[in-house]
Structure 1
Amino acid sequence: MSLRSTATKGVFWTFLQKFGTQLISFGVSLVLARLLLPAEFGLLGMIYVFMGIATALIDSGLTTSLIRTDNPDQEDYSTVFFFNLSGSIVIYFIIYFSAPFIANFYNQEVLIDIIRVYCLTFIISAFSTVQLTRLTKLMDFKTQMLVAIPSLIGSGVIGIYLAYIGFGVWSLVWMAISQVSLKTIQLWIRVKWRPSLVFNVKKFKEHFYFGYKLTISSLLNVVFLNIYQIIIGRYFSASLVGFYTRADTLKQLPVNITSSVLDKVTYPLFSGIKNDDVRLKRVYKEIMQLVVFVIAPILVIMGVVAEPLFRFLFTEKWLPAVPYFQILCLAGILYPIHSYNLNILNVKGRSDLFLRLEIIKKVLVLAVVAISINFGVIGLVWGQLITSILAFFINTHYSGKFLKYNALEQAMDVLPILLLAFVTGVIIWLMDNYLNIDRLMDFYRLAILAAGGTIIYVTFAFLLKMGPLTSIRKIILKQ
């Protein structure tokens, strides 16, 4: 099978997985948002940073190193497996005994037990990390889909039932544990690989040398991705953490369905052509434009219809999250460009440059947060948008040199797409306000504006003969 065919097949199955999982997760979250209070979601949002830190430490970038290694053998996989497993146990006990200090930081004593139970997911997940890595390296995304969807359905049913009978925030905790458990069991059944009782120190050092820099980058990334929940939880309230987390989660829905689909496929794809810079640049450009072409109009339209969208999906009690969501939608448009530029550094084996950029960006985030916190939560969210824009120029620095594809060229390649998306947003805003559509029930209002925006966007893209539209047609028709 050719690289193009493999990539196309990978995109197809990954899209089905992401679409299915996101649809199920979204459906579950809709029900839970009606059963639980914003503050209960906020409690879990406060500890996401610690979960992320532990996950990064456990993996240490070793699975990423396995994917980019040309021919990893049984010793490679077994060594990474036992490191991840032992690391997960150590990290669990560290966080277990740190739980009272974390709870004291937020002045939320209930977090002690929540953290100690939730962190069991680390150990459970470590049993299946290598199996999942093998599937990704083989670009077997069909099996991943067949594992992910039943896990989500089963855990979703458990979470909703527990929320219905009054378990509150604990329904979210047990839902997470059941999801990881179901996924691990299925991966052990479906993936026939089993670890050998071997730990090759030499191979460990090879993977660790590549991975430790990614680990430091991941740690920085986790902390700063969650820095807003940390600050809001520490200086404001659990309810505001819940509103912010809900806004960010909804913004991530289209980003995860589209961008994450290709993220999963593009890393092994880029790795396969890492020595052909001309081809790598061409493929990178096509994928970047394609993802922005899909994400930009969705986020813009969602931002315009944010108020009826939140009221229809989550009820009136979640409306304070609307302004946060609208600003975050703008920041989310740039996510795929950030991700793919950093992927180029990884496939080139330059995790040192990856780390350097992450450190620079984190210093930038601290500076922006220090200023924006004075303007409350809304100021922090605006600061996040500003940081995202500035990060574009930072992320494109080294990858632009490798591919001879600098920030200005990348910006010019996506600018027509962004302009078309924003024009579409302005048109549906005018429709909503001047055609009395805003007087309709939320469902009809959303349906009319979403359909109208899609038709306007696709029609103009067709008339302007935009390349990504042609690429989508070819993927659908398998030409």
Structure 2
Amino acid sequence: MTTSTDLSRRATHAVWWSALEIGTRYGVQFAVTMALARLLTPADFGLMAMLLVFTTFAALLVEGGLGTALVQKQASTDNDETSVFLVNLGAGCALALALWALAPGIARFYAQPALSPLLQALVWLLPLGALATVPNALLTQQLDFRRRAGAELLASVGSGAVALWLAWRGHGVWSLAWQALVGAALRAALLWWLSGWRPRGRYDRAAFAGLFRFGGYLLLANALSVGALRLQSLLLGRLFDARTLGVYAMAQDTQQAPAQLASALLNRVGLPMFASVADQPAKLAGALRLSLRLSMFVFAPCMAGLAVVSAPLVRLLYGPQWGEAAPLLSVLALAALFWPLHVLNLAALGALGRSDLILKLEVAKAAVTIPLVAVASPFGAQPVAWAALAASLACVWINTRHAHRLLDCGLRVQLRDLRPILLLTLAASASAWGVLALAGHAPWALGLAVAAAITTYALGAVMLRLQAWQDLLEFLRTLRAGLAPTNGGLRA
């Protein structure tokens, strides 16, 4: 029999390995991107961004929310797993053939003939991704993030090495394409090997229908979210040139690196914590407020700081040829400032089993985001970035509507909790801005600005005895003691 202590230890073990996997994967990918930015041109990155509009959306359709449905079901059967595998693989092959046939038309749409053979190679991402869905879901279901961490690390390092060698040899945008293909192939092969899973059941229509009832809402919600995001690249690539899109894509990827890292960690830690108290609205509201304080305490100053130091940071990371990305990064970083509110409010709805409400929220957000981006896009990349900022602020209110109705924890309550963090973030950002204003382009200015911001923020948190600071210390003590992270003992 599995005791609560055993489960607690497994959960703690999973948190640490999950954090290691996510941090290592994004760290390696970011390091490779920095090196590639100095070997390739903005136009190379722009060409790849044009095609990611289609491959990312198609990959989302292939997965279909079924991997998440397997994780949610926990005790999946051989027929469940084989049904998901066969449907995913069939969808991957069908969509790959469709994109292969559409490649010449997509190249004409962008007026970039080089895109046709590039996309016809990238369609292999779809069946490769389908192969990895079930093994990945099962490792997640078992909280076996140690093996996942190994697979993700090896895939990232291997694909990054291939990309750097090809870029150094002068293969341009094809180095980015091969990075994606080699990474997908390695990830699929390693997950199959490490999970030990093989299709042992048969296709079961009833099993598939049950999984799709849960995953279908998530598929539609994710499709709307990804579609609204990729619309920026689609319109900029169509209305301008590959270089303009490449600069915007680099700024967007830099902003999304910490946002994606935060999303992955918050979902993996937040979902189990919320699910454990989902039948007790008051405790779920308390867990949501605690999670928001913890995450915003770390995330908000990072994004505000990124907005302030974008110019020297872009020069340091990518080189002077990427200078145009700095003002875009400043605006996009501010757009991501409230990202934990987006992620955690949706996670709370997921814990309540209300994927239907998540879909409704995504429809409402798309109705705001798509018109704003469409109107701004003819005027260039900077207006699109401001449109993304406006949409993000509107979506904060949209995402918290059901938390207000179901948990009595709406936007007003959440912002009241976060007000000290936001004010301290403003003070830390002002100190960094002041250092940069005085130091100008001195080589040491970036380091001094970051140090000033961290000092201001840390001293303020300690001197003001910020509740979020106390929460963070308690959370770390809980993990160090080998207990699963919960909201027990922490003030809501």
Deviations 1:346-396 (A, max 9, x none): 232222222121111111112212432354221111011010000111111
Q: Match of 1:282? A: 286
Equivalent residue for 2:449? 449
Q: CA RMSD in A?
A: 1.7
Report the counterpart of residue 459 of structure 1 in structure 2: 459
Residue 438 of structure 1 is matched in structure 2 by 440
3-state SS, counterpart of residue 324 of structure 2: helix
Structure 2 match to 1:339: 343
Question: C-alpha separation between the residues in 2 aligned to 1:239 and 1:309?
Answer: 20
Question: By how many angstroms is 1:181 displaced?
Answer: 1.1
Question: Matched residue of 1:226: which SS?
Answer: helix
Distance 2:339 2:247 in 1: 21
For 1:78-477, what aligned pairs fall within 5 Å after superposition?
78-373=82-377, 375-434=379-438, 437-441=439-443, 444-477=444-477
Letter matched to residue 265 of structure 2: V
TM-score computed with the length of structure 1 as normaliser: 0.95
In structure 1, give the amino acid aligned to 2:137. Answer: T
Decide whether aligned partners of structure 1 residues 69 and 276 sit closer, same or farther in structure 2, where only a CA change above 3 A counts: farther
Residues of 1 paired with 2:276 and 2:199: CA distance? 26
Contact residue 428 and residue 453 of structure 2 kept, 8 A: yes
> In structure 2, the residue corresponding to 1:128 is in which secondary structure?
helix
Paired-residue identity, %: 30
Q: Matched residues in 1 for 2:378 and 2:436: separation? A: 34
Q: Is contact 2:296-2:421 (8 Å) kept?
A: yes
Q: Distance in 2 between matches of 1:294 and 1:346?
A: 24
Once structures 1 and 2 are overlaid, which stretch shifts more, 258-267 or 413-422? Answer: 258-267
Q: Distance in 2 between matches of 1:346 and 1:258?
A: 17
Shift of 1:4: 5.7
Contact 1:259 1:291 in 2 (8 A): no
- Aligned counterpart, 2:486: none
The amino acid of 1:167's aligned partner reads H
Question: 1:224-252: CA deviations, max 9, x gaps?
Answer: 11111111001011111111111111112
SS in 1 for 2:25: helix
Is the contact made by 1:7 and 1:269 (CA closer than 8 Å) also made in structure 2?
no
For structure 1, which segment, 76-85 or 464-473, has the greater mean C-alpha deviation from structure 2 after superposition? 464-473
Using the alignment, how far apart are the partners of 1:235 and 1:90 within structure 2?
A: 30
Match of 2:26? Answer: 22
Contact 1:147/1:183 (8 A) holds in 2: yes
CA distance in structure 2 between the partners assigned to 1:155 and 1:259 by the alignment? 23
Q: Report the alpha carbon displacement of residue 400 of structure 1 after superposing the two structures with TM.
A: 2.6
State the match for 2:79 in structure 1. 75
Establish whether residue 57 from structure 1 lines up as the match of residue 61 from structure 2.
yes
Contact 1:277 1:403 in 2 (8 A): yes
The 2-side partners of 1:413 and 1:73 are apart by 43
Q: 1:78 to 1:467 in 2, by over 3 A?
A: farther
Q: Does residue 66 in structure 1 map to residue 86 in structure 2? A: no
- The verdict on how the C-alpha distance between 1:258 and 1:346 changes in structure 2, with shifts beyond 3 A counting, is closer
Query: Which sections of structure 1, spanning at least 5 residues, go unmatched?
Result: none
Tell me if structure 2 keeps the 8 A contact 1:85–1:123. Answer: yes
Q: 1:278 to 1:7 in 2, by over 3 A?
A: farther
Q: CA deviation at 1:7?
A: 4.3
Instruction: Report the residue type matching 2:466 in the other structure.
Output: M
Q: Distance in 1 between matches of 2:358 and 2:397?
A: 14
Deviations 1:262-281 (A, max 9, x none): 22332344334322322222
Residue identity opposite 2:300 in structure 1: A
Per-residue Cα deviation, 1:4-56 (whole angstroms, up to 9, x for no partner): 65544333222212221222111111110000000100011111121122112
1:469 Cα deviation from its structure 2 partner: 2.2
* 1:438 shift after superposition: 2.5
For 1:376, the aligned partner's letter is G
1:70–1:35: structure 2 CA closer, same or farther, 3 Å change rule?
A: closer
Distance 1:146 1:70 in 2: 23
Residue 133 of structure 1: how far off its partner (Å)? 0.8
Would the aligned equivalents of 2:266 and 2:343 in 1 still touch at CA under 8 Å? no
TM-score by length of 2: 0.93
Q: Summarize the Cα distance change of 1:6–1:288 in structure 2 as closer, same or farther, 3 Å threshold.
A: farther
CA contact (8 A) 2:231 2:370 kept: no
Distance 2:447 2:436 in 1: 12
Q: CA deviation at 1:332?
A: 0.9
Which deviates more, 257-266 or 12-21? 257-266
The letter for the 1-side match of 2:451 is A
- Which whole-Å CA distance do the structure 2 matches of 1:410 and 1:9 have between them? 30
Evaluate the alpha carbon distance shift between residue 224 and residue 131 of structure 1 in structure 2; reply closer, same or farther with a 3 A threshold: same
Aligned with 1:116: secondary structure? Answer: helix
Quick check: 1:304–1:326 contact (8 Å CA) kept in 2? yes
